[in-house]
Structure 1
Amino acid sequence: MGVRVPPSAPMFLHYDILRRVFMNVTMRRFFISNFMGWILFAAITVAYFGFYGKNSLKFGIDLVGGSYITLEVQKNDVVRNELSDKIKSFESSLKHANIELEAKPVFVDNSLHFKFMSKAKAHEAEVLLRSQDKNLIYSVTNSDLHVTVSPQYLSQLLSQAVDSNIEILSRRLDGMSVAEIHISKQGDRFIVVELPDVRDPQQAKMMIGKSAVMEFKLVEDAAASREELFDKYDQELPEGTMIVAGKANKNGHKVYYLVPEYTPVSGKYFKQARVTFGGDFGTDLTVQFEFDDEGGKRFHELTSRNIGKQMAIVLDDEVVQVAVIKSAIGKVGSISGGFQADEANGLARVLKSGAFKAKVNFIEEREIGPTLGQESVHNGLISCVIGLLLLLIFGIYFYRLSGFFAILALVYNLILILLCMSFVKATLTLPGIAGMILTVGMAIDASILIYEQIKDCLARGLSVSQSVQEGFSDAMVVILDANITTFIVAAVLFYFGTGPIQGFAVTMMIGIVSTLITGLFFLKSVFKFYLSTFHVSKLSI
């Protein structure tokens, strides 16, 4: 639609109308251009970080401070747990072969002892059990058969126990921090736990140290003190039994129970655990648990054979509840012990996450203050700003307006990196900040390659728009080649590295992808918008 201006109109009116038409056309082109999409995306990203702030990113312990804990997996517990798992199958095999035991199996140090009627029966049992499991060491002394774990098999079990405990710790501690809780293996039996910016450090440490080994044992006797129980049995407890203390009542008094050392039913067979209401009036907090198929079968067998007897629920060598078995129980049961809300939720959490494969000891605990982390973040931001300013001076000096466009792409690159890290829940660490700074250098390198190609095209006499198109196309292969090879190196670092190295690798990989997007697509859209809007005949490069 044309604009009619009377010939007699003043000159300034002609100029004002032309200016308005130009502004209208420019704004229209701006809003329908691809560049507008990039601007909107950047604005939404900045608003996202402004609204969610610190909670949108996860920070490593080197940036926010926290606790650094070293745990040791107990080797003796690994052996006892492995041998305990064998008892049921060994007893079944001996019964099937008509080899009678004189007494229940007992643990002595790190070996399992079976007592038979004679030495010949012990040798017969040795041959039978050796054929069943060749990873164990068997020896006969008089009428006793001693079974223990071979050194090679122990090394394998210890490695499995460490890996299993790491997995269980990850499930227990998940969601307890806005930062990344890093858990890693160190040596053959050590676990390192980094707790950055944890909301409740004491609860986290409690959950780390709690083995959560729950066992269901028949109560054979009870007394008000250990001494009273020992007096009942002339200072020598029956073979295969142990004394376990109950929870203290309101007056601080405890009951002590005599229970078997071994039980076929434990929390290792739990499938689910949750907090519900129960008790006599349905108002008490209880923890309801559910066994898997094997656990349900064992629990049903234990309860069906001992109706009318007392059964103790033992958690980490403490009796939390004693109940009379009124009928056979299948897969589902519950624990009620006068729990507070946090106690019940904590117990359900550790039971659901699973019991440790073996108990752990606290070897070392160090506190890292947040001051160092704040200083690292501050220095990292300062270095990024200084780097961008130096690159801005360099870019404008050598490439003029095109150099400014390259810095604009760098800023967009950093925004994109932070957004990606937020979405994939990657952890920003001090080495990660170093990776971001390195990415800035790689991004400006991509822009230089593109600009040099554009200069060559202009020197050959091509038009500005053709030169820009050819420059981006010709540089693409070189840029992709360089970044893909660097990405492969970063992926290898992430796979084989741990802790800080992984933090560096993650930032590098995200930065490389972001560099390709901003260098090959965002920067190109800036040039297209600039050329089409301002009808450039000579490029400032």
Structure 2
Amino acid sequence: MHNKGLIKVFAIIFGLVCIYQLSFTFITSSIEQKAEEYAVQKISENEENYPRLRENAANTYLDSVAKEPYFAGITYEDAKDKELNKGLDLKGGINVILEISVRDLLVGLASNSDDERFRTALDKASEIQKTSAKTYLEIFFEEFDKMEGAKLASPNIFANKSLSEDINFDMTNDQVRPVIRRKIDESITSAFEVLRERIDKFGVTQPNIQRLGESGRILVELPGAKEINRVQNLLQTTAQLEFWEVHKASEFNQFIVDADQALAQSMMSENTDEEDEEEISETSETSETSSDAEDTDEQDLNELLAADEDAADKDEAFSKSNPLISLIQGGGNPQGPVIAYFAIKDTATVNDYLARPEVKSKLGQDLRYAKFVWGKPAQDSEVIDLYALKTNRKGEPDLSGSVIIDAQQSYDQMGRVAVTMQMDRKGSRAWEQMTTKAAEQRSQIAIVLDDIVYSAPGVSNPIKGGNSEITGEFSILEAQDLANVLRAGKLPAKANIVQSETVGPSLGQEAIDAGINSFIIALLFVLIWMIFYYGKAGIYADIALAVNILFIFGVLAGLGAVLTLPGIAGIVLTIGMSVDANVLIFERIREELQKGKDQALAIKDGFSNALSSILDANITTGLTGIILFVFGTGPVKGFATTLLIGILTSLFSAIFITRLFIDGYAKNGKLLQFATAATKNFLANIQLNFLGKRKIAYVISGILVILSIVSLSTKGLNQGVDFVGGRTYIVRFDQAVNSVELQSQVQEDLGSAEVKTYGASNQVRVTTNYKVDNDDNSVDQEIQEFLFKGFQSYLPQGFAYDDFKVGGNNEEFGIMSSMKVLPTIAEDIKRASYYAVFGSLIAVFLYILLRFRRWQFSLGAVAAVSHDVIIVLGIFSATYSFMPFSMEIDQAFIAAILTVIGYSLNDTVVVFDRIREFFNEHPKWHLSKIVNYGVSGTLSRTLNTSLTTLIVLLAIFIFGGDSIRGFMFALIVGVVVGTYSSVFIATPVMYDTAAKKGIDLSDKNKKELDEEETEATIS
């Protein structure tokens, strides 16, 4: 090996850089350990809610030492920014994919056009996109073009005042489309920047925000975040701030009565029950009699409600005859802005009532443009206030939030938490005019954010200078978030959460513990096995392996990559597979020594001869890793990242680091044995007639493939929410539970909910497609309430809903993690998975074709890989219903399938490489003899690599986390089947297709062997 000095210097420098990068992680871990110890000493377990109190105490400690130098001038704050990033499954936190509504953006660009063809194209695009791979914008253009004479540059659509500089009336649809695409892209970019600015101020370390292609989707990862509602509000609030004049409550007293009567009559006509109809009619007459005498301009709503309550006591008949009034919990001050108070649970019903035509008709001429909006409810309150904004035909506010240039959390004159805002010059003038008018009329101004009234203060004097203040029932965090949102600006359109995942911190810690345990066990086995099998040479291989692990973690830390539980699995798998390179080298050195070569030459030729197989094997595995990285998201991408890094560092460690130690030991003539007494002659000079058994192998494989296809056709696969959409929750109890009993408890509310034991007997996984098409956050809360109601009797005594819910007060029991995937993105994930699998098969076929220059090799490899994939799928299909762990088909499973493809190819390519080598060395040998010798020559390597990899996977399967058990099972089956197929499927298929015409498979241009020779067997 040339340039040994340069390689040594590089290895040392690279190692020191990796140690430096990892030092930040050690510093943060040390300080955080001290913070935990401080919290344990300060907060006793006897205190109520002690886990949360300890967390607060630990955070207080970390804040106090954040800027103090800890080691070599490095502070905790500095180290935290540079430590090895941990994913959600290791640290806990929140992961969401937001989709900016392209429909809303189009509507905005079209100035809220009500053009019939425009609206029809939007509706059709919304429906088609649910099952289409195309973007919403492309579908909209296609649907719009189908309408005869439809013109995008119509004055009623995009040829409007706001787009006048870009679009004119004479432009064709083809000319308009690029402009709209650019505008949409600019808006999504703007949304991305707004979200990034909000997240930067959120307060979590190492947040991650990425734009996903051109889909309008944005990935946001917030490790360590726990307040799911706060995060949802932060990400989805469009920050549409508006200032409105507001109606007085007294203006709506008569309307409430008239609307109530109109509703009663309308609902009575819909009622087919004659007895109920008579009852409603009688009580309605009583109500009308009393209401006729009312002078609602003088009498407030509270008196009206009191009279009605005394007369009817709000019984069932009263509710039917007074559907609106019966819902009112209290009236507002007649001169104030609150019309009435309602129960929060009744807001949907009230909205429906107020939107009915028969109710709108009662508003009268003066109130016909009134816009009803709700206030922001106080904390722990069950009622909410209703306001009516003064608006016009266009529905435009008097002043919008675009004039806000700064916002800060503050306190009002009463000491309550508030948000102060500063307006620009234009806004200041408009604000002064607006407050002057309000002061003269002694009226209120409503401050409205996203159609929610945060405050509606009265104005006694004009406000100059552009200062304003929002007050309300804020916590400090809510006020800080609101100020953050206002500073960052508004989103250009609504952001829908199409996929989300929440992992509790305790579940993350358990995943870390499980990952470390499996890592240590796998590593110890590999280290011991290499010494047992190769003696002192195995010690050098172990040193190279340890250096390799240092390189992997150092590179991950340096690149800022995120370490996930599948990522740890990727590293552990890399340990098992990286042994393969050393095994290949050592086996080749042993062969050269058996030929009688001296040690120095045997070492040189061994490394040289093994290089081709090592490169081919790692390149094929690397191709599948690249495809995983391109098509995968989240944990799958984390797995691919560590796999790719591991391949590169393993190559360097095996080829150079191991060589340095071996050459250094042998340079003075010291004898280095590449075996121990127990393994010296193991599988040496063994020659087996593998091809003679190929027909038996074909029959066995044929039966397995047919059974797999039958199971897949009849029983199918257990598709996870990644592929079909839905919601899943991991729920933990303080006692062992029966999943069948739990399922029966929630079946009535959630319908097709599935409850299965997940890991330990006190933990279940709940999967449901309840309201799967509805992305509203209220559905998430509704499902959690159903689960709490159904599971309450199985939870600890006194366990409240706030303890149970996602991000609740209790971190030991309740919902430990949750995941939501809408059907639209589920289709996209499924489609990307298909592309990944087929793309990897095509890439491998082409690589092997280019590398071996014969299609017979490619056909054999693809046949073996297809065989492996079908059998793995078949086993999952046949066994998922009774296996004690989750066998859902999700993104992680696709990663497992691609890894199986890579591993199987790794094995196959090593065998093919040896066969090709024998062709070049023995051109006159019979083809079958060459193939059998090639397979036999790699037998020791195949068994060594497969055994170490299999033990490593079993360690992860047994000691790893529950979330990757199905993933590991797929890999275990894949390794077993892949090892078998490389010998009994790939090689025989290659042989049979080549032997038919006596094709020469060597690299040299030799004379073709005749058919008689190719059919000969080992003599």
Return the match for 1:442 from 561, 577, 602.
577
Preserved contact between residue 60 and residue 179 of structure 1 (Cα < 8 Å):
no
Q: Would the alpha carbon gap of residues 75 and 325 (structure 1) be closer, same or farther in structure 2, given more than 3 Å must change? A: farther
Q: Distance in 1 between matches of 2:15 and 2:503?
A: 40
Q: Would the alpha carbon gap of residues 307 and 349 (structure 1) be closer, same or farther in structure 2, given more than 3 Å must change? A: closer
Name 2:912's counterpart in structure 1: none
Return the match for 2:654 from 511, 515, 519.
519
Preserved contact between residue 273 and residue 349 of structure 1 (Cα < 8 Å):
no
Name 2:88's counterpart in structure 1: 61
The runs of 5 or more residues in structure 2 that have no matched partner are 33-79, 124-152, 161-178, 256-295, 298-361, 439-444, 675-1019
Q: Distance in 2 between matches of 1:422 and 1:439?
A: 17
The runs of 5 or more residues in structure 1 that have no matched partner are 1-28, 91-106, 112-125, 134-152
Return the match for 1:258 from 375, 389, 394.
389
* 1:436, distance to aligned residue in structure 2 (A): 1.3
Name 2:561's counterpart in structure 1: 426
Q: Would the alpha carbon gap of residues 41 and 245 (structure 1) be closer, same or farther in structure 2, given more than 3 Å must change? A: closer
Name 1:207's counterpart in structure 2: 234
Match status 1:538 vs 2:671 = yes
Equivalent position amino acid for 1:506 in 2: T
Query: 1:477-496 maps to which residues of 2 (within 5 A)?
Result: 479-496=614-631
* 1:156, distance to aligned residue in structure 2 (A): 12
Name 1:9's counterpart in structure 2: none
Name 1:51's counterpart in structure 2: 27
Q: Distance in 1 between matches of 2:515 and 2:223?
A: 19
Q: Distance in 2 between matches of 1:284 and 1:373?
A: 34
Equivalent position amino acid for 1:510 in 2: I
Q: Distance in 2 between matches of 1:485 and 1:427?
A: 24
* 1:496, distance to aligned residue in structure 2 (A): 1.9
CA-to-aligned-CA distance 1:489-509 (integer Å, 9 cap, x gap): 323322222233212212212
Query: 1:326-337 maps to which residues of 2 (within 5 A)?
Result: 335=469, 337=471
CA-to-aligned-CA distance 1:498-526 (integer Å, 9 cap, x gap): 23321221221222232234334433443
Preserved contact between residue 276 and residue 285 of structure 1 (Cα < 8 Å):
yes
Q: Distance in 1 between matches of 2:397 and 2:421?
A: 20
Name 1:242's counterpart in structure 2: 371
Q: Distance in 2 between matches of 1:60 and 1:472?
A: 38
Match status 1:227 vs 2:203 = no
* 1:381, distance to aligned residue in structure 2 (A): 3.1
Q: Would the alpha carbon gap of residues 325 and 474 (structure 1) be closer, same or farther in structure 2, given more than 3 Å must change? A: farther
Q: Does 64-73 or 424-433 show the bigger shift?
A: 64-73
Name 2:927's counterpart in structure 1: none
As a proportion of its length, which structure holds more strand? 1
SS in 1 for 2:670: coil
Name 1:172's counterpart in structure 2: 198
Return the match for 1:414 from 525, 549, 560.
549
Q: Distance in 1 between matches of 2:627 and 2:499?
A: 31
* 1:51, distance to aligned residue in structure 2 (A): 2.1
* 1:52, distance to aligned residue in structure 2 (A): 2.1
Preserved contact between residue 226 and residue 243 of structure 1 (Cα < 8 Å):
no
Q: Distance in 1 between matches of 2:154 and 2:92?
A: 58
Query: 1:495-514 maps to which residues of 2 (within 5 A)?
Result: 495-514=630-649
CA-to-aligned-CA distance 1:420-442 (integer Å, 9 cap, x gap): 22333322223222211221133
State the TM-score, normalizing by the size of structure 2. Answer: 0.35
Preserved contact between residue 224 and residue 254 of structure 1 (Cα < 8 Å):
no
Preserved contact between residue 395 and residue 404 of structure 1 (Cα < 8 Å):
yes
Equivalent position amino acid for 1:420 in 2: V
SS in 2 for 1:132: coil
SS in 2 for 1:198: coil
Report the count of equivalent residues. 448
Name 1:386's counterpart in structure 2: 521
Q: Would the alpha carbon gap of residues 355 and 460 (structure 1) be closer, same or farther in structure 2, given more than 3 Å must change? A: farther
Preserved contact between residue 374 and residue 386 of structure 2 (Cα < 8 Å):
yes
As a proportion of its length, which structure holds more helix? 2
Q: Distance in 1 between matches of 2:636 and 2:646?
A: 15
* 1:170, distance to aligned residue in structure 2 (A): 5.4
Q: Distance in 1 between matches of 2:506 and 2:375?
A: 44
Equivalent position amino acid for 2:248 in 1: A
Q: Would the alpha carbon gap of residues 274 and 509 (structure 1) be closer, same or farther in structure 2, given more than 3 Å must change? A: farther
Q: Distance in 1 between matches of 2:576 and 2:610?
A: 17
* 1:392, distance to aligned residue in structure 2 (A): 2.6
Q: Would the alpha carbon gap of residues 516 and 389 (structure 1) be closer, same or farther in structure 2, given more than 3 Å must change? A: same
SS in 2 for 1:406: helix
Q: Distance in 2 between matches of 1:181 and 1:35?
A: 32
Name 1:314's counterpart in structure 2: 448
Q: Distance in 1 between matches of 2:254 and 2:660?
A: 84
Preserved contact between residue 321 and residue 335 of structure 1 (Cα < 8 Å):
no
Preserved contact between residue 176 and residue 200 of structure 1 (Cα < 8 Å):
no
Q: Distance in 1 between matches of 2:155 and 2:497?
A: 40
Q: Would the alpha carbon gap of residues 243 and 167 (structure 1) be closer, same or farther in structure 2, given more than 3 Å must change? A: same
Q: Would the alpha carbon gap of residues 167 and 500 (structure 1) be closer, same or farther in structure 2, given more than 3 Å must change? A: farther
CA-to-aligned-CA distance 1:381-431 (integer Å, 9 cap, x gap): 333333333323432244221212112222222232223223333222232
Preserved contact between residue 418 and residue 469 of structure 2 (Cα < 8 Å):
no
Preserved contact between residue 536 and residue 673 of structure 2 (Cα < 8 Å):
yes
SS in 1 for 2:156: helix
Q: Distance in 1 between matches of 2:251 and 2:488?
A: 33
CA-to-aligned-CA distance 1:52-96 (integer Å, 9 cap, x gap): 228633333334445677989889966765555679xx9xxxxxx
* 1:307, distance to aligned residue in structure 2 (A): 9.2
Q: Distance in 1 between matches of 2:503 and 2:376?
A: 35
State the TM-score, normalizing by the size of structure 1. Answer: 0.60
Q: Would the alpha carbon gap of residues 351 and 529 (structure 1) be closer, same or farther in structure 2, given more than 3 Å must change? A: farther
Preserved contact between residue 17 and residue 554 of structure 2 (Cα < 8 Å):
no
Q: Would the alpha carbon gap of residues 85 and 320 (structure 1) be closer, same or farther in structure 2, given more than 3 Å must change? A: farther
Name 1:98's counterpart in structure 2: none
SS in 1 for 2:637: helix
CA-to-aligned-CA distance 1:305-337 (integer Å, 9 cap, x gap): 9795457643222255777877797xxx76564
SS in 1 for 2:371: strand
Q: Would the alpha carbon gap of residues 226 and 429 (structure 1) be closer, same or farther in structure 2, given more than 3 Å must change? A: farther
Equivalent position amino acid for 1:275 in 2: Q
Q: Distance in 1 between matches of 2:462 and 2:603?
A: 84
Return the match for 2:531 from 367, 388, 396.
396
Preserved contact between residue 284 and residue 336 of structure 1 (Cα < 8 Å):
no
Equivalent position amino acid for 2:156 in 1: L
Preserved contact between residue 59 and residue 428 of structure 1 (Cα < 8 Å):
yes
Preserved contact between residue 88 and residue 224 of structure 2 (Cα < 8 Å):
yes
Larger relative contact order (CA 8 Å, sep ≥ 6): 1
Identity, % of aligned pairs?
A: 29
* 1:193, distance to aligned residue in structure 2 (A): 7.1
Equivalent position amino acid for 2:485 in 1: V
Q: Would the alpha carbon gap of residues 408 and 205 (structure 1) be closer, same or farther in structure 2, given more than 3 Å must change? A: same
